[in-house]
């Protein structure tokens, strides 16, 4: 069985959580209080993380697919595993499309999106074929560079004279209710997506450090996300941040120090690419792992079929805007995040408690 270290797990959690999140301004519907939404969403996401860790601690050697099959029974368990695999594939597809649209919006406006996404998909396929250990080792290798680049961007913004702290005032001008309401959306993306690690925690060599490693990594990624949200607000202001296609990219474009240090667009795009690649590939890997355990075969057999489905489905949205709107419909009307991140894990935990008492 493949195994990963706690440092590799920490790196993957941080990079996955950051992922494509800086592409968006979390909680911008409440204007200048968006940073409070990010904080509240992280704290609510921490409660979900405690639930996921509690599930894993009861069965440290089983992943989510094995837990569902064991506690829900053969028929119901296999059906839920299949539905989870479809959801993982859907999330991977969304990140694949994010990669294509981001490239068109920034560096290759006339490039063929089909070829751009195919390159990304090929890299993900290669990473999955190399195995879980290799992919997690890659995350460990690039973590320092990603966090270092984000720190450099933060320092450059602070000393470039484009920061206006008044953009955060007044705090809670419309009361706490709008912030709390919006945080119920932020909890699912990105913080609640920690549910995916129920597919990978069982591969950890040292189970003793699972909880501390996961919680600390969760907070590190949360600080990066919240800091990014705040910087967009104090540089662009709530109005411009709300209508900007990629707020972080636009705020970084304003950096100019001594007419020498400027045009950090390429650095930001590189960070986006690293985050999107990690996130898309981990969703992809979770999907093929779920299918492999459903059909009791090697997960590499499903890499190409699942990849073909992802690639074909990524063309369904006609534009970046329709891609975003489609995601909101799936999340808000069909309650997909609520079901897969909140309801099913909670039911699984209750069933585990009941069966544990019976035993």
How high is the pLDDT of residue 92?
Answer: 97
Question: What does the pLDDT look like over 286-326, one tens digit per residue?
Answer: 999 999 999 999 999 999 999 999 999 999 998 888 999 99
Mean pLDDT for 156-170 is 88
Q: Region 143-171: what's the mean pLDDT?
A: 90
pLDDT band at 12 (very low <50, low <70, confident <90, very high): very high
- Of 14-28, 48-62, 251-265, the one with minimum mean pLDDT is 251-265
Residue 346: band (very low, low, confident or very high) from pLDDT cuts 50, 70, 90:
very high
Asked whether residue 259 carries a pLDDT value surpassing 70, the answer given is no
Interacting residues of 86 by C-beta distance below 8 A, sequence separation 6+:
287
Q: What does the pLDDT read at residue 249?
A: 87
Q: What confidence score (pLDDT) does residue 261 get?
A: 65
Q: Average pLDDT of 196-201? A: 97
Model pLDDT, residue 260: 61
CB 225 within 8 A of CB 19: no
Q: What is the pLDDT of residue 357?
A: 67
| Structure confidence at residue 50 as a pLDDT band (50, 70, 90) | very high
58 backbone φψ class: left, alpha, beta (φ>0; ψ -120 to 50) = alpha
Confidence of residue 358 (pLDDT cuts 50, 70, 90): low
Mutual angle of helices 113-130 and 74-106, in 10-degree steps = 130
Taking each helix axis as running N to C, give the angle between helix 64-71 and helix 344-358, from 0 to 180 degrees, rounded to the nearest 10.
60
Select from 249, 255, 241 the least CA-distant residue to 269.
249
pLDDT at 343 over 70: yes
pLDDT of residue 359: 56
Contact indicator for 283, 99 with CB cutoff of 8 Å: no
pLDDT at 122 over 60: yes
Q: What is the mean pLDDT of the chain?
A: 93
In whole angstroms, what is the distance from residue 336 CA to residue 334 CA?
5
Residue 329 CB coordination number (10 Å): 11
């Amino acid at each position: 069985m493949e195994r990963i270290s706690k440092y590799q797990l920490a790196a993957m959690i941080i990079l996955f959580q950051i992922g494509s999140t800086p592409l968006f301004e979390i909680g911008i519907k409440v204007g200048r209080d968006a940073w409070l939404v990010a904080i509240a969403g992280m704290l609510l996401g921490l409660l979900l993380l405690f639930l996921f860790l509690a599930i894993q601690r009861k069965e440290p050697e089983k992943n989510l697919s094995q837990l569902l099959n064991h506690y829900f029974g053969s028929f119901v368990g296999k059906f839920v595993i299949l539905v989870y695999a479809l959801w993982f594939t859907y999330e991977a597809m969304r990140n694949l499309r994010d990669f294509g649209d981001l490239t068109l919006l920034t560096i290759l406006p006339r490039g063929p999106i089909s070829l751009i996404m195919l390159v990304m998909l090929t890299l993900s396929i290669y990473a999955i074929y190399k195995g879980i250990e290799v992919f997690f080792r890659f995350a460990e290798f690039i973590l320092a560079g990603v966090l270092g680049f984000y720190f450099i961007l933060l320092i450059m913004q602070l000393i470039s004279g484009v920061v206006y702290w008044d953009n955060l005032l007044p705090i809670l001008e419309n009361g706490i209710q709008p912030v709390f309401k919006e945080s119920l959306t932020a909890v699912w993306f990105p913080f609640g997506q920690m549910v995916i690690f129920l597919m990978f925690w069982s591969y950890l060599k040292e189970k003793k450090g699972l909880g501390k490693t996961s919680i600390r990594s969760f907070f590190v990624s949360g600080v990066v996300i919240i800091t990014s949200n705040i910087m967009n607000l104090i540089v662009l202001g709530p109005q411009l941040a709300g209508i900007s296609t990629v707020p972080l990219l636009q705020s970084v474009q304003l950096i100019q120090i001594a007419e020498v240090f400027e045009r950090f667009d390429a650095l930001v795009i590189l960070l986006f690419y690293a985050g999107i690649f990690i996130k898309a590939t981990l969703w992809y890997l979770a999907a093929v792992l779920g299918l492999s355990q459903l059909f009791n075969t090697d997960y590499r057999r499903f890499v190409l079929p699942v990849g073909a489905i992802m690639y074909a489905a990524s063309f369904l949205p006609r534009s970046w805007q329709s891609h975003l709107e489609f995601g909101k419909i799936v999340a808000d009307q069909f309650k997909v995040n609520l079901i897969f991140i909140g309801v099913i894990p909670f039911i699984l935990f209750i069933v585990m408690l009941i069966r544990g008492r019976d035993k």
